[in-house]
Structure 1
């Protein structure tokens, strides 16, 4: 089932990039990011409230809070820079560079999470990197 979720994530990420490029055209990219984040905030809290998941907040450990907060800060910074890049560049060129996050994630998960990296993963990461470089060439 996770593969379907991942494909849906990719589809919506692609739509988000195209919609963002159109939306950020005539406004400050930081303001655009704030609007986007507010929409996400309302949607996700709506899902949590509708699913009656608020009771789980009490059980979140301090360790989990720290890393969720760090993840939120990293996400926010990623979106701010992404919107700035979209405002200045073509979405068809910004998105592939942004997807280098996959390669960086593989490296970081190997270093910090001790996740195994197979030859297939290394080849895939090299192909992603190579593809991003090819798409950068004008």
Structure 2
């Protein structure tokens, strides 16, 4: 796969996630985090239906794949709820920066469960990331 094959999608994801980190601050100025989560889920459902209809996608069926996909939805939705509570009480810049460090969890789980190596560079990056949280929240 060439760089251009994935880069445009990564840029679109970056933009969408940037908006995803910003819109909740506006939403929770007017409605509770629980209410915001319900409307966020409705928005996600709309995207899912559009993908199913417009693209003509038929989901694949595999018990382990479905289990992990459902766990992804549960973890993501609970994360979104906690994010909404955090952003309704804190500064968007600090909350978004803190929660954007989620790859640290992914790297640690990949190391412990999937036995993926952690490079010195990644280890130093995680230390810097944790230091950033302390500096931003202090």
Provide the TM-score with structure 2 as the length reference. Answer: 0.88
Q: Which residue of 1 aligns with 2:86?
A: 85
Which residues in structure 2 correspond to 1:18-97 (within 5 Å)? Answer: 18-54=22-58, 57=59, 59-97=60-98
Q: Which runs of 5 or more structure 1 residues have no equivalent in the other structure?
A: none
Q: Between Structure 1 and Structure 2, how many residues are aligned?
A: 134
> Equivalents in 1 of 2:6, 2:123: separation in Å?
22
Q: Which runs of 5 or more structure 2 residues have no equivalent in the other structure?
A: none
Q: Considering only aligned residues, what root-mean-square deviation do their CA atoms show, in Å?
A: 1.5
Q: Is the 8 A contact 1:21 1:91 kept in 2?
A: yes
> Equivalents in 1 of 2:49, 2:115: separation in Å?
33
Cα shift at 1:48: 2.5
Task: Render the CA deviation track for 1:64-117: whole Å, top value 9, x for unaligned.
Answer: 111111111101100000001111111111112212312111101111122221
Greater share of residues in helix = 1
